[in-house]
Structure 1
Amino acid sequence: MTRHLAPLFAASLAFVSPAFGQDYTVEVLQDNLDRPWALAFLPGTNRIALTQRGGDVLLWHPDGLVELSGAPDVVVNGQGGLLDIAPAPDFTDSGWLYMTWTGAAEPGTTTHLGRARLDGMALRDLQVLHAVSPGVDSGAHFGSRIAFADGYVFAGFGDRGFKNFGPDHIAQNLSSENGSVIRLTLDGDIPADNPFVGQAGAAGAIWSYGHRNIQAMTVHPGTGALWLAEHGEAGGDEVNIVQRGGNYGWPLVSHGVTYRGGDEFAPPHSPGDGFVAPVFHWPAGRSDHNPPSGMAFYDGAAFPDWDGHLLIGNLLHRYLGLYSEENGQITPVARLLEGEGWRIRDVVVGPDDGFIYVLTDGEDGKLIRLRPAS
Structure 2
Amino acid sequence: MYFCYSRPTDGGSSSSVASATLNGTSLTNVKDIFVADSVVNNGFHFGCRLAFDNDQHLFVTLGDRYKYMKEAQNTDNHFGKIVRIERNGDVPEDNPFVEGDAPEVFSYGHRNVQGLTVHPQTGEVWAMEHGPKGGDEVNLIKAGNNYGWPVITYGIDYNGSIISDKTKQEGMEQPVLYWDPSIAPSGMTFYASEVFKDWQGDLLVGALKFRHLRRISFNEAGEVESQTEYLRDRNERIRDVEVGPNGLIYLLTDESNGKLLQITPAN
Structure 1 residues not aligned, in runs of 5+: 1-96
Q: Is the contact made by 2:218 and 2:226 (CA closer than 8 Å) also made in structure 1?
A: no
- Residues 162, 170 of structure 1: 8 Å contact kept: no
Cα RMSD over matched residues?
A: 1.4
| 2:24 counterpart of 1:120 | yes
Change (3 A) 1:106 1:325: farther
CA deviations on 1:51-98 (whole Å, 9 max, x unpaired) are xxxxxxxxxxxxxxxxxxxxxxxxxxxxxxxxxxxxxxxxxxxxxx10
CA distance in 2, matches of 1:332, 1:157: 29
Give the match for residue 111 of structure 1.
15
- 2:253 is matched with 360
Pick closer, same or farther for the CA change 1:266–1:331 going to 2, 3 Å: farther
| Matching of residues 284-323 of structure 1 within 5 Å | 288-323=181-216
Equivalent pair of 2:68/2:79 in contact (CA under 8 Å)? no
Q: Are 2:66 and 1:161 equivalent residues in the alignment?
A: yes
Which of the pair has the greater relative contact order for Cα pairs under 8 Å at 6+ separation? Answer: 1
What is the deviation of 1:163?
Answer: 6.0
- Alpha-carbon distance between aligned partners in 2 of 1:186 and 1:371, rounded to the nearest angstrom: 34
Which residue is equivalent to 1:269? 167
Q: Which one-letter code corresponds to 1:273 in the other structure? A: E
The TM-score, its normalising length taken from structure 2, stands at 0.95
Compute the displacement of 1:176 (Å). Answer: 1.5
Identical pairs, percent: 40
- One-letter identity of the residue aligned with 1:264: I
Unmatched 5+ stretches in structure 2: none
Q: Residue in 1 aligned with 2:45?
A: 141
TM-score, normalization by structure 1: 0.69
The match for 2:57 is 152
Deviations for 1:258-289, whole angstroms, at most 9, x for unmatched residues? Answer: 1112x43213433x521011110012xxxx22
Larger Rg belongs to? 1
The Cα of 1:362 is off from its aligned counterpart by 1.6
Q: Paired residue for 1:102?
A: 6
Aligned partners of 1:205, 1:212: CA distance in 2, in Å? 17
User: What is the aligned length?
Assistant: 265
Q: Which aligned pairs between 1:49-60 and structure 2 lie closer than 5 A?
A: none
Distance 2:115 2:242 in 1: 11
2:41 and 2:228 map into 1 onto residues whose CA distance is: 40
Q: What is the identity, as a one-letter code, of the residue corresponding to 1:280? A: L
CA distance in 1, matches of 2:107, 2:223: 20
Alpha-carbon contact 2:83-2:107 (below 8 Å) kept: yes
